[in-house]
Amino acid sequence: MFTSVLMIEKALTSADVEFVTTLHGEEQVSFEVLLQPRGEQADRLLRAIDDVALGELDEAVREGETPEGEEALSVGQRALEVSLAALRASGSPAEGRLIEDHPLDALKSLVEEAGADEVIVLTDPHYVEEFFHRDWASRARHKVGVPVLKLFSHSKA
Model confidence over 68-95: pLDDT tens digits? 555 555 788 999 999 999 999 999 999 9
CB count within 10 Å of CB 54 equals: 13
Asked whether the beta carbons of 140 and 25 are under 8 A apart, the reply is no
Model confidence over 15-46: pLDDT tens digits? 999 999 999 999 999 999 999 876 544 555 55
Q: Check which CATH number belongs to the domain holding 117 and give it.
A: 3.40.50.620
Strand partners, 123: 152
Least confident range of 23-27, 98-102, 132-136: 132-136
Does the residue 38 lie in any domain?
Answer: yes
**Rounded Cα distance, 139 and 15, in Å:** 26
Does the residue 22 lie in any domain?
Answer: yes
Instruction: Give the domain range for residue 85.
Output: 2-55+70-152
| pLDDT (average), residues 131-139 | 65
pTM: 0.77
**Count of domains observed in the chain:** 1
Does the residue 60 lie in any domain?
Answer: no
Does the residue 63 lie in any domain?
Answer: no
Task: Rounding to the nearest 10 degrees, give the CA dihedral for residues 83, 86, 92, 97.
Answer: 20
Does the residue 65 lie in any domain?
Answer: no
**Rounded Cα distance, 154 and 143, in Å:** 27
